Amino acid sequence: LSCEVRAVPTPVITWRKVTQSPEGTQVLEDLPGDHVNIAVQVQGGPSVHEATAWILINPLRKEDEGVYLCHSANVVGEAQSHGTVTVLDLSKHTAPRLPAPDDRL
């Protein structure tokens, strides 16, 4: 996932994952946290007062499924955007079979 932010002054960008507590309340977990399969990178540019942030999840696991928030903030204010990651179980799916050139339909 990637997030591009333009702001003056240049903002601080953080990634969070929306999780549920055992009581069912919404919790925002700062990333990468203790996740060994998640890396976060933030880089200035490509323009002045612009920053780009990426989150890389590798390997992607079923427990990584959920909503991820990109949050930016500076002294003027804050903004956020989100994306949803859905993990499919590929073992339950089979590759489509294409007919051979000599197969008749």
| CATH number for the domain harbouring residue 44 | 2.60.40.10
Give the domain range for residue 47: 2-88
Q: Provide the pLDDT for residue 29.
A: 92
Q: Is residue 95 part of a domain?
A: no
Q: Is residue 96 part of a domain?
A: no
Q: Is residue 82 part of a domain?
A: yes
Q: Is residue 12 part of a domain?
A: yes
Q: Is residue 64 part of a domain?
A: yes
Q: Provide the pLDDT for residue 93.
A: 60
Task: Report the C-alpha gap between 3 and 19 in whole angstroms.
Answer: 20
Rounded-to-5 percentages of helix, strand, coil across the chain: 5, 50, 45
Task: Summarize pLDDT for 7-63 with one digit per residue, the tens.
Answer: 999 889 999 999 888 888 999 999 999 889 999 999 987 788 889 999 999 999 999
Q: Is residue 101 part of a domain?
A: no
The two structure tokens encoding residue 84: 């949803």
Write down the pTM of the prediction: 0.78
Q: Provide the pLDDT for residue 92.
A: 66
Q: Provide the pLDDT for residue 89.
A: 80
Phi-psi region of 87 (alpha: psi -120 to 50; beta: other; left: phi over 0): beta
Q: Is residue 105 part of a domain?
A: no
Q: Provide the pLDDT for residue 38.
A: 95
Q: Provide the pLDDT for residue 74.
A: 94
Task: Report the C-alpha gap between 15 and 73 in whole angstroms.
Answer: 12
Number of domains in the chain: 1
The two structure tokens encoding residue 16: 């969070």
